[in-house]
């Protein structure tokens, strides 16, 4: 019963949003804003192209998230291990955080050419900082008393890292990964805006194509595909987090 009540609020909010969307779309007209029924029809009639585009974008987003995780966690461990390396990495991590991906994407097209590599690179750049920041924070999470206890028993820095700091970093790391997952999808689509020519189709290309072709229904259908992909990655990470640390942290 409690779970049912907990789901009523989100379901009601979604229903209210769809109704408001339909009312606004009916008032402004289908050329400016496609209604829910038009978007649903586009999802059905364009399902083959949308499915292939979603798979292509998913490959770039998941690949970018994986590379960002590997790079971010490795550099965070290096920054914990060496203060000199931490200071050296600081300006580069700040630059990656503040420079808009859309400003870098055209250069990546020049360097990498059209296709998946651009979307993979922009997804990696977009997802890197949340992973690195969360891992850096998590590695510093253990209480000083625990660190002193490890060192009192003669633990090496490698043992301290593996047995104490990495397990303690898991909650922060998963939080960063959930943020990075959505950013990886956004980064992949931004890369596809400028780095995809439509063969094979991608969600970013379909958004641009639909906007230029005055097809808001297809544009919204592609947005639905991107949102579904982000939700799926978020839910997957939630499940992994629950299996990895749920019984210790009550998730």
CA distance 80 to 45: 52
pLDDT < 50: residue spans in the chain:
251
Tokens of 130: 């949340």
Task: Look at residue 6 in the predicted model and tell me its pLDDT.
Answer: 61
Mean of all residue pLDDT scores within the chain: 89
CA distance 125 to 119: 10
Tokens of 122: 């922009």
Give the contacts of 202 (CB within 8 A, at least 6 positions apart): 53, 56, 57, 60, 119, 189, 192, 196
Task: Give the position of tokens 């990895």.
Answer: 244
115-128 tens-digit pLDDT? 889 999 999 999 99
107 alpha carbon, distance to own chain's centre: 22
Question: What is the DSSP secondary structure assignment for residue 142, as one 8-state letter?
Answer: S
Q: 105, 48 in Cβ contact below 8 A?
A: no
Tokens of 194: 């400028």
Task: Look at residue 130 in the predicted model and tell me its pLDDT.
Answer: 95
Tokens of 118: 């651009």
Q: 207, 222 in Cβ contact below 8 A?
A: yes
Tokens of 6: 């907990």
Burial of 15 (0-12, 13-18, 19+ CB in 10 A): exposed
H helical segments located in the chain: 2-28, 36-45, 47-81, 83-98, 101-112, 116-139, 144-152, 157-160, 166-195, 203-212, 216-249
CA distance 117 to 113: 8
144-171 tens-digit pLDDT? 888 888 888 888 889 988 989 999 999 9
- Domain boundary assignment for the chain: 38-134+170-249
* Secondary-structure class of domain 38-134+170-249 per CATH: mainly alpha
Task: Look at residue 251 in the predicted model and tell me its pLDDT.
Answer: 47
């Amino acid at each position: 019963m409690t779970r049912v009540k907990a789901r009523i609020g989100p379901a009601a909010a979604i229903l209210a949003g769809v109704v408001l969307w339909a009312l606004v779309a009916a008032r402004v007209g289908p050329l400016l804003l496609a209604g829910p029924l038009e978007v649903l029809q586009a999802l059905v009639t364009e399902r083959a192209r949308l499915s292939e585009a979603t798979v292509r974008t998913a490959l770039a987003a998941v690949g970018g998230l994986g590379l960002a995780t590997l790079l971010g966690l490795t550099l965070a461990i290096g920054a914990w291990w060496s203060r000199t390396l931490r200071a050296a990495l600081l300006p580069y991590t700040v630059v990656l955080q503040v420079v808009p991906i859309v400003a870098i994407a055209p250069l990546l097209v020049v360097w990498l050419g059209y296709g998946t590599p651009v979307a993979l690179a922009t997804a990696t750049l977009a997802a890197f900082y949340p992973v690195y920041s969360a891992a850096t924070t998590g590695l510093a999470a253990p209480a000083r008393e625990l660190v002193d206890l490890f060192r009192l028993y003669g633990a090496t820095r490698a043992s301290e890292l593996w047995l104490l700091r990495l397990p303690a970093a898991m909650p922060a790391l998963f939080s960063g990964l959930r943020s990075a997952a959505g950013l990886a999808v956004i980064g992949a689509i931004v890369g596809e805006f400028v780095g995809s020519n439509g063969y094979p189709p991608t969600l970013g290309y379909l958004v641009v194509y639909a906007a230029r072709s005055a097809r808001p229904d297809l544009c919204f259908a592609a947005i639905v595909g991107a949102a579904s992909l982000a939700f799926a990655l978020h839910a997957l990470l939630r499940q992994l987090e629950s299996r990895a640390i749920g019984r210790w942290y009550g998730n």
